[in-house]
Amino acid sequence: MRPQLDPKKLAKLHNTSELIDKKYGKRGTETRAAFEERAYASYYTEILKEKRKELKITQQELADRLGKQRSYIAQIERGLTDLQLSSFIRISNALGLQLTLE
């Protein structure tokens, strides 16, 4: 026998979009745009970090391939620096990732 769902409790539930709207504003607002920018940046830096770990490459080894300091790679992976597109492409190439347009 399936348990009955309480309609009063269900009415109090929010979906993810509602929660994000409440916290960061509706789409098109400055605060929402800033949030989405940070979210995308975090997503892409996480891809780079996971690929580096998958290849068993240290931050220092990756930095050496790029002619950068290890601290730069660490800052990127922790989301402490703004990653420019050109840097993202260079790091991706150093990790053997291929970028495609769909």
> CA 99 to CA 93: how far, in whole Å?
9
What pTM, to 2 d.p., does this model score?
0.74
Strand, helix or coil at 48? Answer: helix
List, for residues 4-34, the tens digit of each pLDDT value: 888 888 888 888 888 999 999 999 999 999 9
Helices marked H in 5-102:
7-12, 16-24, 30-54, 59-66, 70-77, 85-94
* CA 55 – CA 77 distance, rounded (Å): 15
Local confidence band at 3 (pLDDT 50, 70, 90 cut-offs): confident
Domain architecture of the chain: domains with CATH: 15-94 (1.10.260)
- Convert the pLDDT of each residue in 47-74 to its tens digit: 999 999 999 999 999 999 999 999 999 9
